[in-house]
Amino acid sequence: MRIEKILDAGELTELAKKRFQEERGVDHLEGWFLAKEIMRECDSKYKEEPDCIRTAKTLAAVAEKLPLWLSDHQVFAGTQDDAFARSYALINPAFSVDSFTGYCDPVAVFGDIDPAGDITRERIEELKEYNTKTAFSRALCSAYDKAGDDTSEAIYFIEQVTGHLIPDMRPVLRIGVEGLKRRIDEQRGKETDVQKLAYYEAMDTALGAVLVIAERYAALAEEKAAAAAGKDRERFLLMAETLKNVPLHGACNLYEAIQSFLLMWQVMCLEQTPNPYAFSVGNADRIFEPYRLAENTDREMAAALLKHLLVFYNVADRSWAISQNLIIGGKSNTGEDMTNVTSYALLDAYYDMNLPQPILSVKLHKNTPNELYESLGRFLFTPGCLTPSFFNDDSVFEILREKNKVDPEDLEDYSVAGCQEPLIMGKDNGNTTNSWLNMAKVLELSLNGGVSTISGKKFGRSSEEFGYHTDLELLQNIRTVFYENLELYVDRMTACANAASGAVSLLQVPFLSTLMGGIESGIDVRDTKAQGTKYNGSGCLIHGLSVVADSFAAIDTLLAERPEDAGRMLEALRDNFEHDPEMRQYLMKAEKYGNNIAKVDDEAAEIAGRVSDLVASRKNYLGNPFRADWASPSTHLLYGYWVGATPDGRKAREQLGYGIDPLYGEAHSGLGFRMLSNMKLPFDKMNGGCASHLGVNPNYFKAETFEGKGLEFKDKIIAPLFYNPKKEGIAPFYLYVNVTTPEMLRKVLDNPKKYAPGGVYIMRIHGTFVNFLDLSPDIQEDIIKRLDMESTSM
């Protein structure tokens, strides 16, 4: 039986919207806690087994014991709810900038669950205490101990990366779990290494977990069918019949492919509960198009089915499974456009549902058809509607080939993990958020003899230790001091980041590894001694580009015009300009990055190039380079809180510039000049990614239709930025926009019932979009401020 014989597209859509509203009503998440209790039991039960086998048997036990359920509104079985807690800071209403300390505490998640029913406070504390003593917790705490005080004021952060990967589901959709198991048996038959043989056994066992989940859901669907009548009964019977076929066997149509995909995703996340943030789908249009074609499912029906896929990615009341990215479009390895019917069906599904997750991204290239831009117009110019991120294939292909040494045949399979990090689907463990560098804090310490002007705490070498005995000498040599300090902190940061990777490697993931090349390698995707994926690296997200560039420019101006005021300026910084507002005004008038002024734009390019090279020269746990990522996913706000006043005139604790963008309020000359400044940056060295945001006033677009405005957006924004003939070398390759004005967002906050009657008003927060009304006040204000309309005037 086919789903089309039971429900039409409108009925499927109605069920998807009811299911989303039902999910938004969930204000508690306990599945992860129950899973962790099962894991504790298995730690004891299987303690004599090799770690990989213990992990696989634990996943099988979770699949057998975790409570499952089916909603009356589901068309597909599956949920992510049991893998996530209500944790993510930026969408937590209680979040404040001054309280953020990073995601460092391995048991902090136990603070995100309240007692309910038989889950008592004592039971929570008991499990928390157990988890503080695990080998993983001890290793992670040791990694942070290595950092010492450096992370206390965000000179850098390190992170144990659990998600931020793009599994390749295409093989399992095509040949089923039984096909993957056959491949494992074939590899096992050729293997003699004892450790790899154990790992093949672990992968085989782990894959069995999804078959258990499918079997249990099939039984629940049959129960639902027995209690239902008419179309509801037929819908649940079809679900039960399908679950007996997939994911065990390969999928034969779009309905089966989506069902198989969702269960594989559910188990992949359960393996890493809690909070495996930022797993990403990959090129969903290419994944699902063969199955749409199999029965020639029309665009409307395909969109209706895909709406249920989108709902799956929204967890509870605030869509807590953050930064799961889905991408469409792009070109093939030989340059042909790969947009297809499923691309447009996905856009239709996104537009109608307008959900906070998953993130929508779009690949563009010089030959992207106008039809795609026309279809995007409705997203860009509907108030409160999600807007996609844009990626420039023509640049990304070159960067990945030259810097990440990606084989030409793999280039079309790049996709985006989390916010904006380009990885090869199923082949690349980039550890993309492994380290976070705060250049502005390093500059503050360099100007103040290693002492924090925030706390008075001494972190680094004094000016005298560098050989400079006067304030004037220090300022004259500030670049030397800054870069030497940066080398020191990058060394410490990367050593600690590698230690964090070593900690997370203790949590092996045999199920995920089957989707990441583990069947070929026989090695865990997280292994720090041998490489389990074809490509591997570690990420470093670099903050403070515009603040440091503008500060160097201001120092140069002071030295040229008022060298006698060197000491006065440094004292004004330590005092946060409280007693010298005139000095602040003088510094603020210095030339700023983002206005097409060669001197300061060249300074920004020099910084970006030198720091990218510095980061890339450091090696991760497998000897592969760290990847320079010039992105700051709201951490420009968090890290700025720990940076004192800087020579660009920025006051203490104010935010840093976002990604590679000018500091808000400093690009006065409009969008054209801002783009010219942007194009001077060395994008070829930003192989970990980069981030740029434009707040765009919709009044600059005059076409009468969404389609016309989509083409205007191509001509006025995308073409000048991505395909500008004046740009030498690699062009910019990433952009996201918010098409609105500060006045509009103030109205939304003042009267949400009028402007967001459904309770959802989507805005971009960084590489992800969220419900603007879900955000904490600090983050709402940051979004409004960073629209920075003067910098994007046309």
**pLDDT score recorded for residue 759:** 87
Q: Tell me the pTM.
A: 0.96
- Beta strands 535-536; 428-429: pairing state: parallel
Tokens representing residue 421 in the block: 């990090």
**Cis amide bond preceding 720, omega within 30:** no
**pLDDT score recorded for residue 163:** 87
User: Do residues 790 and 672 make contact, with C-beta atoms less than 8 angstroms apart?
Assistant: no
User: Do residues 424 and 625 make contact, with C-beta atoms less than 8 angstroms apart?
Assistant: no
Bridge partner list, 458: 451
**pLDDT score recorded for residue 622:** 98
In which residue ranges of the chain is pLDDT below 50?
Answer: none
* Secondary structure in 3-state letters for 651-675: CCCCCCCCCCCCCCCCCCCCHHHHH
**pLDDT score recorded for residue 438:** 97
CA 114 to chain CA centroid, nearest Å: 27
Rounded Cα distance, 116 and 123, in Å? 11
Rounded Cα distance, 390 and 555, in Å? 36
**pLDDT score recorded for residue 40:** 98
User: Do residues 357 and 321 make contact, with C-beta atoms less than 8 angstroms apart?
Assistant: yes
**pLDDT score recorded for residue 651:** 98
What residue type is 15 in one-letter code?
A: L
Q: In which residue are the tokens 């056959």 written? A: 182
**pLDDT score recorded for residue 154:** 93
Q: Is 739 helix (H, G, I), strand (E, B) or coil?
A: strand
The half-sphere exposure of 648 on its side-chain side, counting CA atoms within 13 A, is 31
**pLDDT score recorded for residue 279:** 94
Tokens representing residue 45 in the block: 């039960």
User: Do residues 329 and 364 make contact, with C-beta atoms less than 8 angstroms apart?
Assistant: yes
Rounded Cα distance, 673 and 514, in Å? 48
Residues 6+ apart with CB under 8 A from 561: none
Q: In which residue are the tokens 């005080």 written? A: 149
